[in-house]
Amino acid sequence: MEIDPKFRRELTKRFELESMRREAEVTENWRKDLEAVYRKRHESMASLLIEIKALLDRMQNRVRTLTEIVKEEGRK
């Protein structure tokens, strides 16, 4: 069964737009988190580094979780 090329292009376009919208939301969320760290008055360089490390850890955990989900879906 052949999919109509026009329908396929429209579907692809909608998918790409939705993906970009979601990526923008995620990026904005991480930007807000980073901005909160930036604006906070840190007592020392060590406390700033601890906050940055915590943010990096949260980001890494999210990437790891998403990667596992993608791998599991790929196996189905």
pTM here is 0.73
Write down the domain spans for the chain.
1-39, 42-76
Query: Cα separation of 30 and 55, whole Å?
Result: 9
Sign of CA dihedral 4, 22, 24, 65: negative
Q: What is the pLDDT of residues 24-48, one digit of tens each?
A: 999 999 999 999 999 999 999 999 9
